[in-house]
Structure 1
Amino acid sequence: MNKQVQVHGALLLVALIYGSNYSIAKEVMPFYVGPFGLIVIRVVSAALFFGVFSRLVVKEKIVGRADNLRSIACGVTGIAINQLCFFGGLNLTAPINAALLMVISPVAVLLFSAVLLKERVGWRKVTGIVTACLGALLLINNSRGEGTPGNIYGDLLIILNAVSFGMYLVLVKPLMQKYKAVTIVSRIFAVGAVIVVPFGWRQLLAPAYGTFPTSIWLAIAFMVLAVTILAYLLNTWALRYANASLVGAYIYLQPVLAILIAIGFGKDVFTLQKGLYALLIFAGVYMVSRTRQHTAVKAGANN
């Protein structure tokens, strides 16, 4: 299969997983597990999984002071700040607000890529970002209702999460040129786990887990296995073959997929307007993807 098709397939699956997460996470918190307690479950589970897999199967280490410091920065921005702000914000604000504000992340990727990675910011890439952003804003604004109030503190946390994740995508890119995806993800989750445990251990111990219905356990399992382990692994792998701006641009698909999922559950209605807004998002992602040849990493042996 063509490598570019694989990359787009991986990023589309990540967008689908994240698009589902907005509604699924809201079912779990705060009624069953607090947001920070849920983060501890996710991050520690992923750290243990990747730590064991990396040590027993991959057997690769990050070497050098610069790479080790960068991997720590990735753990802080991509796991600790990202997760704490996202779930803290989502717990306070409406899912539709969170989806709206997450479109800031690709803009942050574009800016950080230009500053830190010296990526060329051409007119096509800027136009793609603006087009996709416009489509996402119109789509979500069209989907907002009186029953989905926001919260200014929650919204601010989501903005911080979006900027932090954008910086993570840029910081992790150089590491992907040297190491396997599992090696990187193992390190960043280990760093993230050390930071998030003090924030969430009280909420982790508070619930009566024996009273949880099966649906809640399935939701937690989805957030650990799909949203945490699979999504981060696919995102990190995709950065080996695509520039950070393309990976960031796929965030614009999350609101589209979130609304489609809501339609499937009878919580939203598809209209011609929504279809046109979704086309704007896809057009923007296409324009960004057409610029990948400038910064894409050659396909190497560490697949």
Structure 2
Amino acid sequence: MANKTTYAHIALFTVGVIYALNYFIAKGLMPEKIGPSGFIALRVLGGVAMFFAARLFVKWERVERDDIMRLALCGLTGVAINQLCFFNGLALTSPLHAALIMTTNPIFVLVASALILGTSITLRKLGGITFGGLGAVALLLNSGEEAANVASSLEGDFLILVNALSYGVYLVVVKPLMTKYKPITVISWVFLFGSLFAVPVGYNQLIDIDLTIINTVDYWAIVYVIIGTTFLAYLLNIYALNTVEPTVVSIYIYLQPIIVTLLTLGLAYAGYTLYKGEINYQTTLSALAIFTGVWLVSIPSGYLKTRIMV
């Protein structure tokens, strides 16, 4: 019988698959069926409803007044800016570029920790920031040079980069709250505050949705984004974090671009011209630089020394 660790890895793999598929499913609806900002307004409102409903099944926690502003900042960075930039960027760029740029998140977490918390940056981690930064810049520059039939764009890639930066700040700001309250308490309030910022931005696109062009497949895609990507993926991540170390969870960030790459190749082979030419040597070299940078930033202190001694 599988143990808890095995189930945790299954949960993390499932989360990786959910997020990887989301790049294609969400992009398939934007902007023809629903505007990206309107989609986020719908997603955030759905998240608020589901997370507060989930709180009914756990003991209610009272949030201290001193933490309200921090929760509001978390809502701004972890929901509003993060998700608005992600969907608006995804609408303009390719799933592959978006997935690769998203892997820079641990680098932004390190930089945010240094600026906000005063965490020291070692020479190795500085090298990781440099490698990752060069890879991201190369990917952005490559976007502007690609052929017109390729789905990526400089503006879209830049918005995804801002999304990764905003989420990195959020992870640093939210950390004290996660040690003080239950995760479901924190995330429900974060989504509530995030909705106050995100819904006004996406309101016009939300009310402009033409329901006459939304078919059954589109409705299932919307359900997937709201329930699967927003709610289920979060619960699976929390389940895994209760069993394995955060460093193990961070390794699975590499799973998304791998799955997205395989899907991109499959779609290109199937005749989807939008994804033909998306994988080239510039993209490959950029990905290697980003992966190297994230690896140097993420590995524990003393790991390399220990491995060399062994």
Same fold (TM over 0.5): yes
Q: Which residue of 2 aligns with 1:46?
A: 47
Deviation (angstroms), 1:126? 6.3
Alpha-carbon displacement from aligned partner over 1:225-247 (angstroms, at most 9, x marks no partner): 1111122344456566644x765
CA RMSD in angstroms, aligned pairs only? 4.0
2:25 aligned partner: 24
Aligned residue number for residue 297 of structure 1:
none
Q: What is the CA–CA distance in structure 1 between the aligned matches of 2:73 and 2:27, rounded to whole Å?
A: 29
Other structure's SS at 2:229 match: helix
Deviates more, 1:97-106 or 1:39-48: 97-106
Q: Distance in 2 between matches of 1:66 and 1:170?
A: 17
1:29-48 superposed Cα distances (whole Å, 9 cap, x missing partner): 11111111111111101100
Kept in 1, the 8 Å contact 2:178–2:186? The answer is: yes
| Alpha-carbon spacing, 1:121–1:194, altered in 2? closer, same or farther (3 Å) | same
CA contact (8 A) 1:62 1:68 kept: no
Alpha-carbon separation, structure 2, partners of 1:160 and 1:173? 20
Q: Give the aligned partner of residue 308 of structure 2.
A: none
| Residues 11/113 of structure 1: CA separation in 2 closer, same or farther (3 Å cut) | farther
Residue number in structure 2 paired with 1:184: 186
Question: 256, 259, 284: which is aligned to 2:258?
Answer: 256
Structure 2 counterparts to residues 56-205 of structure 1, below 5 A = 56-117=56-117, 121=121, 146=147, 147-205=149-207
Q: Is the 8 A contact 2:100 2:287 kept in 1?
A: no
CA contact (8 A) 1:246 1:289 kept: no
Give the deviation of 1:67 after TM superposition.
2.9
- Measure, in 1, the Cα distance between the counterparts of 2:129 and 2:241: 18
C-alpha distance in 2 between matches for 1:52 and 1:11 = 24
Structure 1: distance between partners of 2:169 and 2:230: 18
Which blocks of at least 5 consecutive residues in structure 1 are unaligned? 295-303
Corresponding residue number in structure 1 for 2:209? 207
Q: Deviations over 1:96-150 (max 9, x none)?
A: 3323332332210111233445556556766777788899999997xx9633254
Which structure is larger by alpha-carbon Rg, 1 or 2? Answer: 2
Return the alpha-carbon distance in structure 2 between the equivalents of residues 174 and 198 of structure 1: 28
Q: Is the 8 A contact 1:26 1:90 kept in 2?
A: yes
Give the CA deviation at 1:174. Answer: 2.2
Equivalent residues of 1:185, 1:233 under 8 A apart: no
Q: 1:220 aligns with which of 219, 222, 245?
A: 222
Listed as ranges, the gaps of 5+ residues in structure 2 are 270-274, 304-310
Identity of aligned residues (%): 42
Q: Deviations over 1:68-114 (max 9, x none)?
A: 32222211111111111111122223333323332332210111233
* 2:306 matched residue in structure 1: none
Which amino acid in structure 1 is aligned with residue 77 of structure 2?
A: T
Aligned length: 290
Aligned pair in 2 of structure 1 residues 136, 220: CA closer, same or farther (>3 Å)? Answer: same
Deviations 1:231-269 (A, max 9, x none): 2344456566644x7655643432212112334554679
Whole-angstrom CA distance in 2 between matches of 1:2 and 1:133: 37
Is residue 300 of structure 2 the alignment partner of residue 291 of structure 1?
yes
**TM-score (normalizing by structure 1):** 0.76
CA distance in 2, matches of 1:132, 1:6: 31
What amino acid is the match of 2:35? Answer: G
Report if the CA contact (8 A) 1:93-1:151 is conserved.
yes
**Matches of 2:137 and 2:233, distance apart in 1:** 24
TM-score (norm 2): 0.74
Distance 2:7 2:19 in 1: 18
TM-aligned CA distance change 1:87 to 1:286, over 3 Å: closer
Provide the rounded CA distance (Å) in 2 between the counterparts of 1:172 and 1:107: 17
Equivalent position of 1:36 in the other structure: 37
